Structures are given as C-alpha cells and as structure tokens.
Structure 1
Amino acid sequence: MNFEKARFNMVEQQIRPWEVLDQNVLDLLMTVKREEYVPASARALAFADVEIPIGCGQVMLKPVIEGKVLQALQPSKSDSVLEIGTGSGFFAALLAARCEWVRTLEIEPELVKLASANLARNGVENVVVVQGDGIDGWAERAPYDVIVVSGGLQYVPQALLEQLKVGGRLFAFVGEAPVMKARLITCEGEGRFRTEDIFETVVPMLQNAPRHDRFSF
C-alpha cells in the first residue's frame, strides 16, 4: 500500500471537502502518520472514512472528525492540553505536534499500554499518558488552554469547565444517538462560557459518562 498517496487522498478527498480548510490542520494530518496508530490488522483502513476498532470496545474516530475538531480548537505552541479518552494515541500525537504538552487520560489499561507504545515508537515526547477515569478532568495540572473529550457525553461536567483557563477551549460531543452536537466551549471570563455547535455527528459514548438520570431533584 502506498501510504503517502493514501494520506494525500484522505486529506484532499475526505477532509478538505468537509470544509476543513485551515492549511495548518491539513499539513498536520499529512505529517503525523495515522497508519502508525491503527492496529496492524486494520492498516489498510488507516485512511478510510470509517471508525476503526482498537480494542476494549473503543474506536479511532473518522479522519474528517479529527480534522474538524483540530480546526475548531486552533491549537498553538504555547497551549497546555488535557485529553480525555486516549485510545490509540493518534489524536494526542496530533495535538502534541502543535502544543507545548499534552496530558491524556485513558480508563482502559490495555489502551494505556497501546497508546504509550505508539507514542514512544513515533518519538512523541511531550505527551504523558495516565490511566484513570478522566470525567472530572485532572485538577493537578489545571488550568488548561485546551480540553478535548474524545467520546460522547450527555452533558459537559462542571468540573471540566472549571479547569479551563480564561480564553481556553473545550471540545466535546454532547447528546445521544441518533444525533450529537460537536460542541466548542470557550471560557470568556471567570465563570463565563460561550458555546458553539460546530457540526452534528454520532460517536461512541465515553465510558462512565455521567447521565442526567443519575440525579434526583
């Protein structure tokens, strides 16, 4: 398989037509080798417009989704990042290529090992993979410039919002199937947030995601 040709086709035939036009994002997706983060048995699907199973009931998101999220977040070299849901480590690698450092939380021990190995093999040194439930964030290194939640949520927990810097951005997939909102939340001031729904999609729910029906009033 000609990976470079497949990568080019992914960017030009899938991602750019879906209104991902930021050249920095397109260049990033051409640079970070997606095929290095998929299971060996699925390498032929590395650039396909599909979710790729990676074990533990988890998937890599479609390339177009990754492109849209990056374009919305506008990561920069000075940014500190918290990712919730490491998966294979690919999205952490994308963020690491543009940001100062990334702390990424993964609840499944098997995926912690997978992502750590993938990142080390590809020379990504500014990512720390931590095993744990990230639904309440990681207050130890807060506040963050960027928080990314890689799975679905019924709602965004207040604890995550409180870990954003002023000017910081949080991206999450909010709602339930058949339709979720890909939502960008920007902290405009102490306790003040601006919300923008970027597109609609469906992604797997985050493990242990809080649910409205857990609460009684």
Structure 2
Amino acid sequence: MSEEPGERAARELLAEFGTRLDPAYVCDEVRRATRELEGQTRPGGATELIHRLARTRLLSRLDPVPGADDAAPDPGDAAAACRARMVERLRDAGIRDERVLAAMGAVPRERFVRPELAAEAYDDTPLDIGHDQTISAPWAVAFGIASLGLPQHARVLEVGTGSGYGAAVLARCAAEVVTVERDPELAAAARDLLARLAPDVEVRTGDGVHAGVDRAPYDGILVTAMASGRLPRPLVRQLAPGGTLVCPVGTNRVGTLVRWRDGAVEELAPVTFVPLVTGD
C-alpha cells in the first residue's frame, strides 16, 4: 500500500529530527503543513512541499547558533540573528548561490511584512500583505533568484512587486532592477519602502507582462505569480540573448516553477503562487 504524502514526510522528518526534537512535535508540524497545503499541491508534488515547509519550521526550533549572547538582544540584533538562521536553513534546503544567500542575509524581511506578522517574517511560509497578495516564502524567493543564474552587471525584470522584498534581494544580485506591480496601492507602498532600502530599484505600476518592455532586453526575468497554463510569450521576447525567464506555471495557484533559457524549458520544482493577472 502506498504512503500518503504526509505519512512519508513524517517518516523522513522523524528520522532526521526524532533525536533532537520531541517526536510528537515533529508530527504536529507535518500535520500543520499538510493542512495548510491541502488542495494546493499537484499530483506527485505534495510530499516535497509538505516536507519542505515542515522541515524549515523544525530547523527554526533547534538551538540557536552556539556562542550567541545570552543577554536580551535589541530588536535589530534579534532580526539579524533570525536572518542568519534563515540563511543556514536555506543552505540546508539546497540553495548554493552565495550571492543570493548574502542578499537574503542582508535584507530586513520584517520590514516588508505587516507589523502584526513581523514575528513570523522568517518562517518559511508565504504571508498575507493585503490586496489578496502574499510575500513569498524565503525559500521561494531565494530559489527563484538563484535559478536565474544572473551574470555580473545583469539587468533584471521582476513581475509582481508585492511588498518589494524580492526586488530588494534582487538589487543585491543585479546591476539594474525593474519591478512591476499591478495593484497601485501595493506599488506605492513598495516604492516608498524601496526608496529607503534599495533606492536603485525602479518600481512601475501596470501590467507586468508589458510595463517593462521599454527597458528590455533583460538578462533575467522573474515572475512571482502563477501563469495560467503556459509561459507568457511577451516576456520571452524581452530577454537578451542567453537570458533566463523563471516563472511558475499552473492552475488554481498550484503548479511548477519553470525555467526558459535559449529555447529550452526546464521544470524546477512544485510551487504555489497567487495567479498572474495580465491584460492579455
């Protein structure tokens, strides 16, 4: 008899964490991840998503880095420690691009979430930012940017600014970043925040598939919303020779992160994202 996705994830995570954490707590985190992802995973992708979400949360509950100061830290120090632990979790999850890891460790993610969710900013889960949008989980941000394989001095287009976090990370990995947000209120808030934290980022309001065409060609294009059924061809046409498009493709917020480069299409990982809305 085949295992259910949650059962397989629980077995694997108990083998990894059962001697360091309470086994009941491990199982609780697997059940929590299974509930949150119910109905959001495509066939064959459920175990991987449940495993990744539960594992990242379990890693965050392990002892802090040895030698850490026992004195109560100020908020800035606490946030820096959270970022450092997040980066180590990203390494454990397979992110190897040191430029991306350094950027993730430098950008204050807590500034890009709603104040009441600041304590959850470094959990590996998407968080609501209003307007039926979310800030992507740290792994999704890091994996998407790393998958671009950006050259030095790259020009990058981000489709879906959200609160601006991804653009702030991209700004530390590329020479030029143009980010487009369809929602005017989100775009205005992101523009204000990025003006202070990543002032070289250009924030535009409009249809992400078309609003950055005058700045093309791009060495990399990262889409942070789910394209329905296929890659947006107008974005492919905005790539420089040898450029890379990374975009989630699927239906009902569930699909696969896809990479297009030189006409070759590669499926990278099962993902969940809010839908991409375009004027097409």
Q: TM-score, normalised by structure 2?
A: 0.69
State the number of aligned residues.
Answer: 203
CA distance in 2, matches of 1:118, 1:76: 26
Larger radius of gyration: 2
Match for 2:143: what amino acid? K
Instruction: Quickly say closer, same or farther: Cα 1:178–1:98, change in 2 above 3 A.
Output: closer
Question: Residues 57-206 of structure 1 correspond to what in structure 2 (within 5 A)?
Answer: 57-122=132-197, 124-136=198-210, 138-154=212-228, 155-177=230-252, 179-186=254-261, 188=262, 193-206=263-276
CA distance in 1, matches of 2:116, 2:188: 18
| Structure number with higher helix proportion | 2
Task: Report if the CA contact (8 A) 1:137-1:160 is conserved.
Answer: no
CA distance in 2, matches of 1:29, 1:79: 18
Task: Report if the CA contact (8 A) 2:246-2:259 is conserved.
Answer: yes
Task: Report if the CA contact (8 A) 2:157-2:177 is conserved.
Answer: yes
Mean Cα deviation higher: 109-118 or 17-26: 17-26
1:47 is aligned to: 122
Match for 1:31: what amino acid? A
Could you list the runs of 5+ residues in structure 1 that have no partner in the other structure? Answer: 211-217
CA distance in 2, matches of 1:177, 1:97: 32
Q: Secondary structure at the match of 2:276?
A: coil
Alignment of 1:20 onto 2:95: yes
* 4+ runs deviating over 3 angstroms: none
Aligned residues with identical type, % of pairs? 33
1:215 is aligned to: none
Residues 105-148 of structure 1, C-alpha deviation per residue, up to 9 Å, x if partnerless?
111111011111111122x1221111101133522111111111
**Superposition deviation, residue 25 in structure 1:** 1.9
Could you list the runs of 5+ residues in structure 2 that have no partner in the other structure? Answer: 1-74
Q: Secondary structure at the match of 2:242?
A: strand
Coordinate RMSD, CA, aligned: 1.6
Task: Report if the CA contact (8 A) 1:84-1:106 is conserved.
Answer: yes
| Structure number with higher strand proportion | 1
Residues 161-207 of structure 1, C-alpha deviation per residue, up to 9 Å, x if partnerless?
11111110111001124741111111x2xxxx111111111111123
Instruction: Quickly say closer, same or farther: Cα 1:179–1:52, change in 2 above 3 A.
Output: closer
Pick the aligned partner of 1:8 from 63, 79, 84: 84
CA distance in 2, matches of 1:83, 1:121: 19
Task: Report if the CA contact (8 A) 2:253-2:275 is conserved.
Answer: no
CA distance in 1, matches of 2:182, 2:99: 31
CA distance in 1, matches of 2:162, 2:150: 20
Q: Secondary structure at the match of 1:16?
A: helix
CA distance in 1, matches of 2:98, 2:176: 22
Task: Report if the CA contact (8 A) 1:136-1:157 is conserved.
Answer: no
